């Protein structure tokens, strides 16, 4: 097989040049990192689960008219996506207080917010992805006012879709992070959902028990991350649990 050209390697994914112009192969690694890569581990099966779950969410979004970069899944760990310019912002939507919002504002984790709150962080690992305001974004030209209107609308549509989907399987969507890409169609720019949507980038709590089913299991040492992600996949009917557990030796 011809060697592929690696474009970029991040903490959880590798991007390779795709087979046709304007496409990229996104490979999901098993690596888990937290606290800006200060905590690291390899979690067997995580990449396979996130590939499948991101495919599931992106396909569902496309079906309700939310544009995404996803084209098709290629295999257990790879998917073909549209090449796009990444807007240098992490877009976070919160329904309940948790994580940095709880710390920053002293609100108990799990407190329902009066309405969904959208936050923006600058994508910059060296600075630890700092929270920025729309004033910063406009002044430094990271996105235009039209982009910001479109980003807010996309973020809230993703929130409605994901919240409803999760609620249907007994899971509360506490918050999530998305990334936005820009593509050009007939020379006109258009914003789409890029990167991934998976339990790596969401907070998901079981409605009945409050059990965490997301990357906080790894960040806070709460048990098996693959068990948590498999549970999300199993409830959504994405993957049977037997496909993600380790093979057992038969004597």
Least distance to ligand 5GP, CB of residue 80, Å: 21
By beta-carbon proximity to ligand 5GP, the closer residue of 60 and 99 is 99
Quick one: which segment of 50-58, 94-102, 221-229, 237-245 binds ligand 5GP (CB under 6 A)? 94-102
**x/- letters, 128..167, toward ligand 5GP (CB under 6 A):** -x--------------------------------------
Given the rule CB under 6 A, which of 76-84, 164-172, 197-205, 231-239 is the region that contacts ligand 5GP? 197-205
| Nearest approach, Cβ of residue 177 and ligand 5GP (Å) | 3
What is the closest distance, in whole angstroms, from the C-beta atom of residue 103 to ligand 5GP in the complex? Answer: 8
Which region among 59-67, 90-98, 137-145, 230-238 touches ligand 5GP (by CB under 6 A)?
90-98
Q: Exposure of 106 by Cβ count < 10 A (0-12 exposed, 13-18 middle, 19+ buried)?
A: exposed
- Give the Cα-Cα-Cα angle 92, 98, 100 (nearest 5 degrees): 65
CB-neighbour burial class of residue 219 (10 A; exposed 0-12, middle 13-18, buried 19+): middle
Q: Which of residues 16-55 bind ligand 5GP (CB under 6 A)?
A: none
Of 199-218, which residues contact ligand 5GP (CB under 6 A)?
A: 200-203, 215
Contact between 177 and ligand 5GP by CB under 6 A: the answer reads: yes
Of positions 55, 147, 150, 175, contacts ligand 5GP by CB under 6 A: 175
Q: Point out the residue whose Cβ comes nearest to ligand 5GP.
A: 99
Residue 194's DSSP bridge partners are 179
Residues lying near ligand 5GP in the complex (CB under 6 A): 90, 92, 98-101, 129, 175-177, 200-203, 215
């Amino acid at each position: 097989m011809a060697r592929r050209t690696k474009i970029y390697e991040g903490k959880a994914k590798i991007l390779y040049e795709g087979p046709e112009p304007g496409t990229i192969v996104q490979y999901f690694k098993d690596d888990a990192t937290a606290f800006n890569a200060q905590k690291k581990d390899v979690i067997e099966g995580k990449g396979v689960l996130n590939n499948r779950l991101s495919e599931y969410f992106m396909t569902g979004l496309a079906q309700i008219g939310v544009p995404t970069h996803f084209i098709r899944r290629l295999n257990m760990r790879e998917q073909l996506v549209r090449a796009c310019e990444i807007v240098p912002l992490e877009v976070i939507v919160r329904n309940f207080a948790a994580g940095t919002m709880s710390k920053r504002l002293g609100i108990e984790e799990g407190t329902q917010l009066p309405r969904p709150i959208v936050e923006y962080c600058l994508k910059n690992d060296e600075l630890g992805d700092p929270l920025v305001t729309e004033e910063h974004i406009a002044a430094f030209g990271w996105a235009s006012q039209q982009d910001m209107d479109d980003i807010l609308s996309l973020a809230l549509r993703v929130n409605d879709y994901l919240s409803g989907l999760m609620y249907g399987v007994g899971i509360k969507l506490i918050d999530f992070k998305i990334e936005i890409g820009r593509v050009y169609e007939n020379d006109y720019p258009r914003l789409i959902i890029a990167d991934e949507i998976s339990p790596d980038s969401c907070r998901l709590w079981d409605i009945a028990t409050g059990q965490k089913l997301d990357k906080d299991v790894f960040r806070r040492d709460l048990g098996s991350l693959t068990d948590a992600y498999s549970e999300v996949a199993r409830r959504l009917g994405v993957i049977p649990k037997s496909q993600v557990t380790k093979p057992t030796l038969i004597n």
